[in-house]
Amino acid sequence: MADRGRVRGSGVLGLCLLLVSLLVALAGCGGRPTADTAGAEVQRVLDRRAAAVLAHDSRAYAATGTTAGYANLAAVPLAAWSYRVTAVRRAGDSATAEATLSYRVEGYDRAPVTAARTLRLTRDSGGGWSVASERPAQQAGEQLWDQGAVSAVRGVHSLVLGVGQPAARLRSFADLADRAVPEVSAAWGTDWAGHVVVLVPGSLQAMAGLLGSPASSYRGIAAVTTGETGGETGGETGGGARTPADRVVVNPEAYAQLGSLGRQVVLTHETTHVATRAHTNAATPLWLSEGYADWVGYRGTGRTPRQVAPELRGAVAGGDVPAALPTDSAFGFSADPTRLAQAYEGGWLACRMIADRWGETKLNAFYRSVATHRNRAGAVETALSTVLGTSLPDFTAAWRTYLKTRLG
pLDDT tens column, 298-324: 999 999 999 999 999 999 999 999 999
Amino acid identity, position 46: L
0.85 exceeded by pTM: yes
Contacts of 46 (CB under 8 A, 6+ apart): 64, 83, 85, 97, 99, 119, 131
Domain topology for 35-140? Nuclear Transport Factor 2; Chain: A, (3.10.450)
pLDDT at res. 272: 98
Residue 224 pLDDT > 60: yes
pLDDT at res. 262: 97
Distance of CA 28 to the CA centre of its chain: 48
Split at pLDDT 50, 70, 90, the class of 408 is confident
Question: What phi and psi values does residue 220 have, to the nearest 5 degrees?
Answer: 90, -10
DSSP strand pairing (196-200 vs 247-250): parallel
pLDDT at res. 333: 76
Domain boundaries 149-278, corresponding CATH code: 3.30.2010.30
pLDDT at res. 245: 82
Average pLDDT, the chain: 89
pLDDT at res. 55: 97
DSSP strand pairing (113-123 vs 94-105): antiparallel
Residue 26 pLDDT > 50: no
Residue 261 pLDDT > 50: yes
Q: Where are the domains of the chain?
A: 35-140, 149-278, 282-408
Among candidate residues 244, 253, 290, 285, the one with its CA nearest the CA of residue 269: 290
Run of H or E residues at 168: helix 167-188
Split at pLDDT 50, 70, 90, the class of 215 is very high
pLDDT at res. 37: 83
Percent of the chain with pLDDT over 70: 87
Residue 7 pLDDT > 70: no
Range 354-358 contact pairs with CB under 8 angstroms and sequence separation of 24 or more? 354/388, 355/295, 357/398, 358/388
Question: pLDDT, tens digit, for every residue of 109-142?
Answer: 988 999 999 999 999 988 899 999 999 999 999 9
Residue 28 pLDDT > 60: no
Question: What phi and psi values does residue 153 have, to the nearest 5 degrees?
Answer: -130, 125
SS3 of 257-318: CCCHHHHHHHHHHHHHHHHHHHHCCCCCCHHHHHHHHHHHHHCCCCCCHHHHCHHHHHHHHC
Across the range 336-356, mean pLDDT stands at 96
Residue 160 pLDDT > 70: yes
Residue 23 pLDDT > 60: no
Among candidate residues 148, 86, 141, the one with its CA nearest the CA of residue 119: 86
Split at pLDDT 50, 70, 90, the class of 6 is very low
Residue 379 pLDDT > 90: yes
Split at pLDDT 50, 70, 90, the class of 335 is low
Max Cα-Cα span within the chain: 113
Across the range 251-266, mean pLDDT stands at 96
Among candidate residues 191, 376, 348, the one with its CA nearest the CA of residue 269: 348
